[in-house]
A = this chain, B = another copy of it.
Amino acid sequence: MRLVVVGGVAAGLSAASRARRVDRSLEIVVLEKGSRISYGACGLPYLVEGQVSSLDELTVHPPEFFERERDIRIRTGCEVKSVAHAKREVLLASGERIRYDRLVWAAGARPAASVRGERVFTLHNDRDAERLQAFLHEHQPRTASVVGGGYIGLEMATALRARGLAVTLYHDGLNLLNREEPWLTERVSARLQQCGVTLRLNTPVAAPDDLGDDFVLWTAGLKPNVEILAEAGAELGRTGALRVSEHLESSLGGVYAAGDCCEAMHRVTGRPAWIPLGTTANKMGRVAGANAAGARERFEGITGTSIVRIGGLAVAMTGLGMIQARREGFTPVEALVEARDRPKYFRGRKVAVQLVADRNSRRLLGAAICGDEGVAGRINVAATALAARMTAADFAALDLAYAPPYATVADPLLVAAQTLLKALDAR
């Protein structure tokens, strides 16, 4: 039995490693288009910022580790051209054909627009990062245009600013971070301004070359890498990413998918969603790999939990925002409070907490939190509550830890929950 895994970053390597633990005798081959595997792509902005000194520092394990410790064959520089599922064959760009019994498709995503130009950059993979680093080093640019107001755009705008560049950030929508929450956009905008980043909201960019800065970093939009598998007959979901079962099998029997190329069940809406994130890729990879090796595990789904740092401000979210909740058919009610994360005498700082619940079921639907400290832990509490389908009252009854160096006796989460209960009771 041979398992072929397409993709050697987060989902692919989780799948391969897990498959090995499930079946010691399986032949496992990982095909990676690039020259490097197993690197933490989420660390790329910090390479540019200077926090990370080299790509090697972002590499979790070298190929030899997988070969030696896990008996997994790693083949870099292998671009897949097509899949002939009837013959159980993968065709490489080199012309080589590789037979499989089981396939895990973990081909990730790519920038949605194909923007090109000597001074136009993306930051999606290791090659992108190397190219940008080389450019920054060689040309010592003084000004940069960053296009896209998602995670990478915001991280990179502040990272380049921290390197001393004049940065303008262009975003085509009215709200940042893929969350239609004006209050969040306001706070992020204020922090960008403090950092000296010029923000142009509601400003689509058609021709990056016309922006006039020394270079352009294009971070707007991602597309799942589904075309090859779709051509082979795999179904896509309504999001445009690969449709998978709860066991992460695609519509092609024996072909599993994981990570940024496919949908995942959203635990709040109960419907498939496409929210490409590294944490999800790792977890899906494990399940896809286990099942491809003969196990029968279920992927429990996601709540879409994320966090990003923007000039020292932590912005985190999970579940649904107000507008998204309405679109999904809920009748959302919100509470938005500001409360100190610790007592004043421990230099406590204000954290803003938004909780969203459904008026009818009183179930918690989502949360967004921003502040300089104490944000990550709190969003995870909300994510846990979403996974457990807690109501606002369940959430308000949580027994959270308190000691003056770490929290206030009424945690900002619980203050928000009390406000939410009042909002639910009001008409």
Q: Which residues of A contact B (CB under 8 A)?
A: 10, 40, 42-43, 46, 51-53, 57-58, 151, 267, 277-280, 282-283, 299-309, 314, 316, 318, 343-346, 374-381, 383-385, 387-388, 390, 394, 397-407, 409-411
Tell whether A43 pairs with B381 under 8 Å between CB atoms, given A307-B402, A318-B401, A402-B278: no
Q: Is the CB of A307 within 8 A of B407?
A: yes
Q: Is the CB of A42 within 8 A of B402?
A: yes
Tell whether A282 pairs with B380 under 8 Å between CB atoms, given A387-B399, A401-B316: no
Q: Is the CB of B404 within 8 A of A42?
A: yes
Contacts of A394 in B (CB 8 A): 300, 387-388
Q: Is the CB of A302 within 8 A of B399?
A: yes
Cα of A390 to Cα of B389 in the assembled complex, Å: 11
Q: Is the CB of B376 within 8 A of A407?
A: yes
Q: Is the CB of B51 within 8 A of A346?
A: yes
Cα of A176 to Cα of B401 in the assembled complex, Å: 18
Tell whether A400 pairs with B309 under 8 Å between CB atoms, given A282-B409, A409-B279, A410-B282: no
- Beyond the given pairs A40-B404, A387-B397, 17 more chain A to chain B contacts, judged by CB atoms under 8 angstroms and listed by A's residue number, are A40-B343, A42-B404, A46-B345, A279-B400, A279-B401, A307-B401, A307-B403, A308-B403, A318-B399, A377-B381, A380-B381, A380-B411, A381-B384, A387-B390, A387-B394, A387-B399, A388-B394
Specify the chain B residue showing the minimal Cβ separation from A384. Answer: B384
Contacts of A400 in B (CB 8 A): 279, 305, 380, 383
Cα of A233 to Cα of B316 in the assembled complex, Å: 52
Cα of A403 to Cα of B45 in the assembled complex, Å: 11
List 15 A-B pairs, Cβ < 8 Å: A43-B345, A43-B404, A46-B345, A52-B345, A57-B344, A58-B345, A278-B409, A279-B401, A299-B397, A301-B399, A309-B403, A379-B401, A381-B384, A383-B399, A384-B388
Cα of A40 to Cα of B340 in the assembled complex, Å: 15
Q: Which of A301, A318, A401, A404 has most chain B Cβ within 10 Å?
A: A401
Contacts of A308 in B (CB 8 A): 403
Question: What are the 3 closest A-B residue pairs judged by CB atoms, nearest first?
Answer: A377-B377, A388-B388, A300-B397
Cα of A299 to Cα of B101 in the assembled complex, Å: 56
Q: Which of A42, A57, A345, A376 has most chain B Cβ within 10 Å?
A: A376
Q: Could you say which of B278, B299, B300, B401 contacts A380, with CB atoms under 8 Å apart? A: B401
Cα of A400 to Cα of B381 in the assembled complex, Å: 9
Contacts of A279 in B (CB 8 A): 399-402, 409
Cα of A377 to Cα of B406 in the assembled complex, Å: 9
Specify the chain B residue showing the minimal Cβ separation from A376. Answer: B406
Cα of A302 to Cα of B346 in the assembled complex, Å: 26
Cα of A403 to Cα of B380 in the assembled complex, Å: 13
Q: Could you say which of B58, B302, B377 contacts A374, with CB atoms under 8 Å apart? A: B377
Cα of A279 to Cα of B410 in the assembled complex, Å: 7
Cα of A271 to Cα of B223 in the assembled complex, Å: 52
Specify the chain B residue showing the minimal Cβ separation from A60. Answer: B409
Contacts of A280 in B (CB 8 A): 399
Q: Is the CB of A380 within 8 A of B377?
A: yes
Cα of A305 to Cα of B318 in the assembled complex, Å: 23
Q: Which of A299, A302, A383 has most chain B Cβ within 10 Å?
A: A383
Contacts of A277 in B (CB 8 A): 402
Q: Is the CB of A306 within 8 A of B381?
A: no
Specify the chain B residue showing the minimal Cβ separation from A283. Answer: B397
Cα of A201 to Cα of B357 in the assembled complex, Å: 49
Shortest distance from the beta carbon of A286 to any chain B beta carbon, whole Å: 9
